[in-house]
Amino acid sequence: MDSHRSRITDIAQHARVSTATVDRVLHGRVPVRPATAQRVLKAAAALHYLPEADLWRTLQPPPMPLAFLLPAGTNRYLRMLGDGINGAGEALLPYNVHCRAFFIDSFDPAKVAAALRRHGRRAQGLAFMALEHPRVRAAVDELVDAGVHVLTLISDLPDSRREACVGMDNHAAGRTAATLIGRFLGGRRGPVAMIAGSLAYRGHEDREHGFLQLMNEQFPGLQVVGVREGRDDADTNERLTRTLLAQHPDLVGLYNIGGGAEGVGRALQAHAAQQAGARPVFVAHGLTPDTRALLISGTLDAVINQHPQTMLLNSVRIFTNLRDGRSASAGVEPVRISIVLRENLP
């Protein structure tokens, strides 16, 4: 008798099932009741039919499909986050998840809501950078009703039924930026400006509020001249910065709330080449190759950073906690605000 066939027969006898059932379990041909599959796999292990590694893989349930929806565009930090998500397969094996990042039009509420519904049909967990709008909130609530775990990244949607937000405290980040600019200026007076991605992002709005609050409390000699919205686009931010410098030649500070800092940097470098005197103090978010170069050149004074890998791992831990019936925050450390200067570049 064929030795391989006789061993399947041995497994069938040991598990008290048919050889056809053993074949279905070992090769995943058609669904088998979980209790029956467990008996077959235990019998296969007892008879040393499967190597231990193969048996472990067979016992594992299918990976949890996770979708990360990130804003499309030139934001280098978000591109780095997306690349990290798509390239993290090996590192995430212990969590038994499958992660994919998708870049979407994030400034149109109807398109964000449509993307949530589309990707939510194929995912058990979905994380996205939330846009504040009733359509987006309704789409989140629909996904939760359908059994999809929803997280927000970087910017929250607190009135929705999302299960957690992954990211730094944005109000504290804005206060930190104001502190840095005020202290770097060392008593200089004058106008200070802000450039946001969009104030429809709760995270950017919270950073603006924190910035204004601390400026009013501690630096009365600095006048904030309003906030512009550049949609995290480097070229748009460059044009906005050039306009600010033309309107306020005595500008002493600039806080880039979102992405596209390289555009601000280009405008500041061009201005410095044409004008003598002290340049504006510049604080931005997200350590990327572009902001690193700006720090090294001295154009950028400080970067407020949250590490992309920490964002991914925290998201995955929360998703697996929810999958396994634990509290969402079990074992998850809050995302810390990191201040990067030229002197402490990693």
How high is the pLDDT of residue 28? 65
Are 258 and 237 in contact by the 8 Å Cβ rule? The answer is no
Average of pLDDT values for 19-25? 84
Which option is the CATH number for 64-167+308-335: 1.10.3330.10, 3.30.70.360, 3.40.50.2300, 3.40.190.10? 3.40.50.2300
Tell me the mean pLDDT in the region 121-128. 97
Same fold, 64-167+308-335 and 170-305: yes
| pLDDT over threshold 90, residue 2 | no
Quickly state the pLDDT bin for 53 (edges 50, 70, 90): low
Residue 326 scores a pLDDT above 50: yes
Mean pLDDT of 138-151: 97
Give the E-state strand segments of 207-311 in sequence order.
Answer: 222-229, 253-256, 281-285, 302-305
Domain spanning 170-305 has what CATH number? 3.40.50.2300
Instruction: Specify the pLDDT at position 1.
Output: 38
pTM: 0.83
Q: What is the mean pLDDT of residues 101-111?
A: 96
pLDDT at 163: 97
Interatomic CA distance for residues 75 and 68, integer angstroms: 16
What is the sign, positive or negative, of the torsion defined by CA atoms of 207, 298, 295, 269?
Answer: positive
Give the pLDDT score at 51: 61
Give the per-residue pLDDT at 57. Answer: 60
Q: What fold characterizes domain 3-59?
A: 434 Repressor (Amino-terminal Domain) (1.10.260)
Rounded mean pLDDT of 186-199?
96
Please tell me which residue, 248 or 36, carries the higher pLDDT value.
248
Per-residue pLDDT, 95: 93
pLDDT above 70 (res 66): yes
Note the pLDDT of residue 3: 41
Dihedrals phi, psi of 79, to nearest 5 degrees: -65, -40
pLDDT tens digits, one per residue of 239-279: 999 999 999 999 999 999 999 999 999 999 999 988 877 89
Longest dimension (CA), the chain: 93
pLDDT for 202: 96
Encode pLDDT of 152-187 as tens digits: 999 999 999 999 999 999 999 999 999 999 999 999
From the CB of residue 61, how many other CB atoms can be counted at a distance below 10 Å? 8
CB distance 286 to 261 below 8 Å: yes
Q: Is the pLDDT of residue 27 over 90?
A: no
Strands (E), the chain: 64-71, 97-104, 125-128, 149-153, 164-166, 190-196, 222-229, 253-256, 281-285, 302-305, 338-340
Residue-wise pLDDT for 279-325, tens only, equals: 999 999 999 999 999 999 999 999 999 999 999 999 999 999 999 99
State the pLDDT at residue 26: 76
Q: Of 57-66, 128-137, 315-324, which gets the smallest average pLDDT? A: 57-66
What pLDDT band is residue 4 in, cutting at 50, 70 and 90?
Answer: very low
What does the domain layout of the chain look like in residue ranges?
3-59, 64-167+308-335, 170-305
CA-based radius of gyration for the chain: 26
Q: What is the mean pLDDT of the chain?
A: 92
pLDDT of amino acid 227: 94
pLDDT band at 55 (very low <50, low <70, confident <90, very high): low
- The confidence score (pLDDT) of residue 54 equals 59
Q: What is the pLDDT of residue 194?
A: 98
